[in-house]
Amino acid sequence: MEKDSAGEGRLRRYAQAFRREANPPADLATTLVTRLTTRRPSSRFGALPAFAAAAGVLVVGLVIAFGAMQLRAMGRPMHGPPITLSTATPSPSLDTTPTPSPSPTSTPTATPTATPTSRPSGAPMQLIDLTFADASYGWAIGSNCPQTDNCPLQLRATTDGGRSWYAANAPQVQALQGNPGWQVRFESDQVGWIYGPKLFHTVDGGQTWSDAGLGHAILSLAASGTSVWAIAADCNQGQCLRMTLYRSADQGRSWGRASAQPAMVGAAAQLIRVSDSTGWVLSWSTINASLDSALAVTHNGGQSWQRLVRPCAPETSIADSGAALADGTLWIVCGGDHAMGQERKQVIVSHDGGLHWNFPPDAPTRGFVGQLALSGPSHAWLATVGGPLYSSGNGGAGWMTADGAGVSVDPSGPGVHAVVFIDSLHGWAATDHEVFWTSDGGAHWGHTGI
Amino acid sequence: MKKEDTLPAADRPWFEAHVRLLARPAYQFSLMLTQNPAIAEEVLQEAFTQLWASSGTPSELADFRRYLYRVVASRATDYHRRQALARRIRFFAPTAPDPMAEIERRVGDQEMGRLLRSLSPRERQVAYLYYFEDQPADEISGALGMKPATVRVVLHRTVQKLRRLAPTLNIQEQSN
């Protein structure tokens, strides 16, 4: 559908400004929900007679019920022990059910399950990346620089959905050296990876790490059960070449080059995986000299890949990011040339795995493209470098910052490093020293320092 | 006791999530139709209450959204009908301040706001979903309970009307 005729610009600008300025009252959603469950007060649409009648009936009913209770109680002796109220002791863990570990080496004492004793939170670190295996278990990596040029990688873990964090063991590597930057992913509360210039693997919730010995830098990694895919490349001085898909069938203990390779272009790539069988590889150029992008999909666990239409136009192929849901919803944010803290961004949305695309008209310009996360087919969250956390609840047609919901970001700071949603309700975002969490789909966010 | 009185929240945990996701866009849709923030909120509350009371409310978000928008449009139309009736029987009423004035000022194009207010409720519904939310005709037809062909006809008439009211606006016909 072509909608971009020249004469519509004014109407489009009005639409954008209206969506930006026509703000509902604060906590509208909470008010709506509260009134739903507590029987809404009188409507100005003429419900007063019905309400008055209902109130009258209620009063009469209460009087009759009170009278009946008094009559029943007359002459009846009190029996039974007095009621004892017991107060539940809050547990630091949301889920204390032991989770079976696939690793023969892991023991219950090695798991990061919350214990009554407090654990050291570690020195404040500058957060780099964040991941969550479920609504309780999460990990964050970052850097702490006791001396110039000495910034060892730090790992923090949480077992209560990000409300509190404790120091965990990280691989002995420098956080800010090498290319690409370090990232962290966990498939379960036990099995995870830290990757970037090298690939490390844990099967005990991050207590111990082993080098996977892949011999390449890892640009992106995605797991589903025991099956793990990674895009490896040879990176030197910020430039990555020979991007190759590797696969592991044993949670990352052993790796092999995939026999079927997806079409990839440029020097950066992202694996987006929603199941054992279905995944996408988004790749882009990152440099102005050869602006291009590519998108490939597999529906048979990587046995074969199909190249889809080029997702991002050349002018927006400098920094791209994608996210998908199991129903085939696929969002991509294409980042283009940038200046003065702003970047041209094109959002594209597909609901059939990339065969057909919608091109919502406006994407926020402030900040540079960071991570993208989905909390529903029409609801996306975009972390921006040097900018705020954005959300769109209408398929990308309009975006708003999450400042009002509680994700306050220093406008002159480095922005939002990460955003993660594991379902429609539970999500997290992170700035340099704070982790924000929501358990109501992003309507409200709490935060804690890290 | 009617059925809506007995529906516990635990039976439909998804409902609140949908409310939180859709409150803002649905409020703005309601505001465009009613042109009054307080009435827009009232219409939205009535719409959500109706969906809550109905056991047939779909849980899937896209269907829920369509259903919600249809109810909002219907309630807003009811509001306009009552307003029209009230105007006929009212002998004198002081001029009330325009509740949209501040929003119009911030949006910065009062002429466009005036043009949109000149559209009929049905035209405004279609124009909003098409131009403001970028919905295709098929989706609009689902949300408003119209045939896709009817949506295109209404859009055609809306564009013609806007052209007539503001020739310099130069809005072009859309191919769909």
How confident is the model over A153-181, as a mean pLDDT? 89
Say whether both B113 and B80 belong to one domain. Answer: no
User: Tens digit of pLDDT for each residue in A239-268?
Assistant: 788 999 999 999 888 999 999 999 998 888
**Domain ranges for chain A:** 123-258, 263-450
User: Tens digit of pLDDT for each residue in A321-334?
Assistant: 999 999 999 999 98
Q: pTM higher than 0.90, yes or no?
A: no
Judge: B136–A25 Cβ closer than 8 Å, yes or no.
no
CA-closest candidate to residue A324, choices A368, A369, A361, A376: A376
For residues A317 and A334, is the Cβ–Cβ distance under 8 A?
yes
Q: Is pLDDT larger for residue A385 or for residue B68?
A: B68
Same fold, A123-258 and A263-450: yes
CA–CA distance, A174 with A181 (Å, rounded to integer): 10
φ, ψ of residue B71 to 5 degrees: the values are: -70, -40
Judge: A45–B48 Cβ closer than 8 Å, yes or no.
no
CA–CA distance, A378 with A392 (Å, rounded to integer): 7
Say whether both B95 and B110 belong to one domain. Answer: no
In the numeric block, which tokens belong to residue B83? 């307003």
- For residue B26, the enclosing domain spans 1-99
> Could you tell me which residues come within 8 angstroms of residue A129 by beta carbon, excluding any fewer than 6 positions away?
A140, A141, A181, A182, A183, A184, A417, A418
For residues A132 and A422, is the Cβ–Cβ distance under 8 A?
yes
User: Tens digit of pLDDT for each residue in A287-297?
Assistant: 655 668 899 99
CA–CA distance, A133 with A151 (Å, rounded to integer): 26
Q: Is the pLDDT of residue B168 over 80?
A: no
Judge: A378–B65 Cβ closer than 8 Å, yes or no.
yes
Across A120-124, A174-178, A417-421, the highest mean pLDDT is recorded for: A417-421
Using an 8 Å CB-CB cutoff, list chain A residues near B49: 35-36, 40
Q: Is residue B175 part of a domain?
A: no
Say whether both B139 and B54 belong to one domain. Answer: no
Judge: A36–B134 Cβ closer than 8 Å, yes or no.
no
Fold category of A123-258 in CATH:
Neuraminidase (2.120.10)
How confident is the model over A157-181, as a mean pLDDT? 89
Using an 8 Å CB-CB cutoff, list chain B residues near A23: 24
What is the structure's pLDDT at B27? 92
Q: Is pLDDT larger for residue A108 or for residue B117?
A: B117
Q: Is pLDDT larger for residue A355 or for residue A99?
A: A355
Using an 8 Å CB-CB cutoff, list chain A residues near B106: 17, 21
Q: Calculate what percentage of chain A has a pLDDT beyond 90.
A: 44
What is the structure's pLDDT at A438? 95
pLDDT band per the 50, 70, 90 thresholds, residue A109:
very low
What is the structure's pLDDT at A247? 95
Q: Is residue B174 part of a domain?
A: no
Q: Calculate what percentage of chain A has a pLDDT beyond 70.
A: 77
Q: Which residues pair with A401 in a beta bridge?
A: A390
How confident is the model over B43-49, as a mean pLDDT? 92
Using an 8 Å CB-CB cutoff, list chain A residues near B14: 424
When CB atoms are compared, the residue of B46, B113, B171 closest to A7 is: B171
Least confident of A155-169, A196-210, A220-234, B80-94: B80-94
Say whether both B54 and B114 belong to one domain. Answer: no
Say whether both B20 and B52 belong to one domain. Answer: yes
Q: 3-state SS of chain A: helix, strand, coil percent to 5?
A: 15, 35, 50
Q: What class does CATH assign to A263-450?
A: mainly beta
Quickly count: other Cβ atoms within 10 Å of residue B110's Cβ. Answer: 13
What is the torsion angle, in degrees rounded to the nearest 10, for the CA atoms of residue B87, residue B90, residue B92 and residue B95?
-30
Least confident of A310-324, A416-430, B5-19, B115-129: B5-19
What is the structure's pLDDT at A288? 52
Q: Is the pLDDT of residue A112 over 90?
A: no
Sign (positive/negative) of CA torsion A109, A115, A121, A125?
Answer: positive
pLDDT band per the 50, 70, 90 thresholds, residue A237:
low
Domain count, chain B: 2
Q: Calculate what percentage of chain B has a pLDDT beyond 70.
A: 80
CA–CA distance, A243 with A409 (Å, rounded to integer): 35
Judge: A10–B109 Cβ closer than 8 Å, yes or no.
yes
Q: Is the pLDDT of residue A65 over 60?
A: yes
Location of structure tokens 């999909």: A297
For residues B25 and A391, is the Cβ–Cβ distance under 8 A?
no
Q: Is the pLDDT of residue A86 over 50?
A: no
Q: Is residue B176 part of a domain?
A: no
In the numeric block, which tokens belong to residue B173? 């016909």
Say whether both B94 and B127 belong to one domain. Answer: no
Boundary-marking domain end, from B99, B116, B144:
B99
Boundary-marking domain end, from B52, B75, B99:
B99
Boundary-marking domain end, from B99, B131, B159:
B99
Q: A interface mutation test: which of B45, B117, B132 has the most A CBs within 10 A?
A: B132
Please report, as a single letter, which amino acid is at residue A109: T
Q: Is residue B113 part of a domain?
A: yes
What is the structure's pLDDT at B143? 87
pLDDT band per the 50, 70, 90 thresholds, residue B68:
very high
Judge: A2–B20 Cβ closer than 8 Å, yes or no.
no
Say whether both B58 and B133 belong to one domain. Answer: no
Q: Is pLDDT larger for residue A375 or for residue A357?
A: A375
What is the structure's pLDDT at A43? 45
What is the structure's pLDDT at A365? 82
CA-closest candidate to residue B127, choices B49, B32, B31: B32
Q: B interface mutation test: which of A28, A38, A48, A426 has the most B CBs within 10 A?
A: A28
* For B135, nearest residue in chain A (alpha carbons): A397
Say whether both B17 and B91 belong to one domain. Answer: yes
Alpha-carbon distance A196 to nearest alpha carbon in chain B (angstroms): 35
Q: A interface mutation test: which of B24, B51, B138, B165 has the most A CBs within 10 A?
A: B24
Q: Is the pLDDT of residue A104 over 70?
A: no
Q: Is pLDDT larger for residue A84 or for residue A280?
A: A280
CA-closest candidate to residue B125, choices B45, B24, B29: B29
When CB atoms are compared, the residue of A7, A393, A441 closest to B172 is: A7
* Reported ipTM: 0.84
pLDDT band per the 50, 70, 90 thresholds, residue A160:
very high
How confident is the model over A337-350, as a mean pLDDT? 77
What is the structure's pLDDT at B119? 87
> Could you tell me which residues come within 8 angstroms of residue A365 by beta carbon, excluding any fewer than 6 positions away?
A342, A343, A344, A345
Using an 8 Å CB-CB cutoff, list chain B residues near A400: 24
What is the structure's pLDDT at A114? 39
What is the structure's pLDDT at A273? 95
How confident is the model over B78-100, as a mean pLDDT? 66
Using an 8 Å CB-CB cutoff, list chain B residues near A13: 109
Crossing angle of helices B110-117 and A9-21, in 10° steps, is 90
Q: B interface mutation test: which of A10, A13, A346, A347 has the most B CBs within 10 A?
A: A10
When CB atoms are compared, the residue of A7, A37, A393 closest to B170 is: A7
CA–CA distance, B130 with B109 (Å, rounded to integer): 19
Alpha-carbon distance A404 to nearest alpha carbon in chain B (angstroms): 13
CA–CA distance, A216 with A232 (Å, rounded to integer): 6
* For A380, nearest residue in chain B (alpha carbons): B21
Residue B12: CATH number of its domain: 1.10.1740
Q: Is pLDDT larger for residue B92 or for residue A296?
A: A296
What is the structure's pLDDT at A56? 67
How confident is the model over A92-108, as a mean pLDDT? 36
What is the structure's pLDDT at B12? 75
Q: Is the pLDDT of residue A141 over 90?
A: yes
Quickly count: other Cβ atoms within 10 Å of residue A20's Cβ. Answer: 14
Least confident of A328-332, A337-341, B167-171: A337-341
Say whether both B154 and B122 belong to one domain. Answer: yes
What is the torsion angle, in degrees rounded to the nearest 10, for the CA atoms of residue A181, residue A187, residue A193 and residue A196?
-20
Say whether both B128 and B43 belong to one domain. Answer: no
What is the structure's pLDDT at A81? 37
Say whether both B83 and B18 belong to one domain. Answer: yes
Least confident of A36-40, A348-352, A400-404: A36-40
What is the structure's pLDDT at A305? 96
Say whether both B60 and B23 belong to one domain. Answer: yes
